[in-house]
Amino acid sequence: MFNSSNWFREWFNSPYYHKLYFEHDEQEASAFMTHLLNKLQPAEHAKLLDVACGRGRHSKFLATKGLDVTGIDLAPASIAIAKAQENGQLHFFEHDMRLPFWINYFDYAFNLFTSFGYFRTEREHYNVIRTIANAVKPHGTVVIDYLNVHYAEDHLVHKQEKQIDDVTYYLTKWFDETHFYKKIEIEDEALEAPLEFTEKVAKFSLGDFNDMFAFYRLQLKDVYGDYSLNSYDIKQSPRMILIAEKIS
């Protein structure tokens, strides 16, 4: 069993994390990236930072579209896999997004699929926004893709069981006033004993992001409610996709 304020270090570095979340939705992810690039219309060879890039699947796709992509993630196992894909337009670094990265270097910075909100303190979350804001050039673009709190509350499935390959995942979800929680119990015959992790993600509203953005000179430009970039509705939209500009 593993459960602490740094749960994400162990869980995000686990092969079971990637099996559970990412090996089944490549088509959805590619479609989202295509919609986003059509909206943003980046120049060829524009520099893009993929914050919390995992094994680099989105970075790799973005690089095939003519962008110069750098991915950062704190999970060493993920970055080791990502680095095997490196080329002249695709670069990866093991890095904690709470700490500063390159300054005024990128044209775009993406933080995708709720790869945010799991730190213990407000200061740490602000530090992530600082890293992202400082990394882009003046008038650069920041995209953050987060869950929509109101929709997530109304559509929470409290108990799920998933079978992926020969592994069984038992998921238990709940929430309180400030966070969503998900307990993941993993049964695999290859393991001596079951594994258990508990995710914890902050309930950040549109207003919360506006406050964090303003603190680091980011101005919100657009908000979308799903991966097809339909309009955001506070009750009906499954996602909250924020596009902001860095004000010089």
In the block, which residue shows the tokens 């740490």? Answer: 124
Residue 59 parent element (H or E)? helix 57-63
Inter-CA distances, 93 with 10, 96, 130, 154, Å:
18, 10, 18, 38
pLDDT digits (tens, 9 = 90+) for 213-247: 999 999 999 999 999 999 999 999 999 999 999 99
Domain segments of the chain as ranges: 7-148+205-246, 152-199
Among 72-81, 100-109, 130-139, 235-244, the range scoring the smallest mean pLDDT is 72-81
Strand, coil or helix: what is 18? helix
- Show the beta-strand stretches assigned E in the chain: 47-51, 68-73, 90-94, 106-111, 136-147, 159-164, 167-175, 179-188, 195-202, 218-224, 239-246
* Domain 7-148+205-246 in CATH 3.40.50.300: no
Full-model pTM = 0.91
Spatial separation of the C-alpha atoms in residues 46 and 231, rounded to whole Å: 27
Tell me what pLDDT residue 57 has.
Answer: 87
Reference 115, options 150, 83, 151, 78; nearest CA is 78
DSSP readout, 106-150? Answer: EEEEEE-SS--S-SSSHHHHHHHHHHHHHHEEEEEEEEEEEE-HH
Residues forming a β-bridge with 93: 72
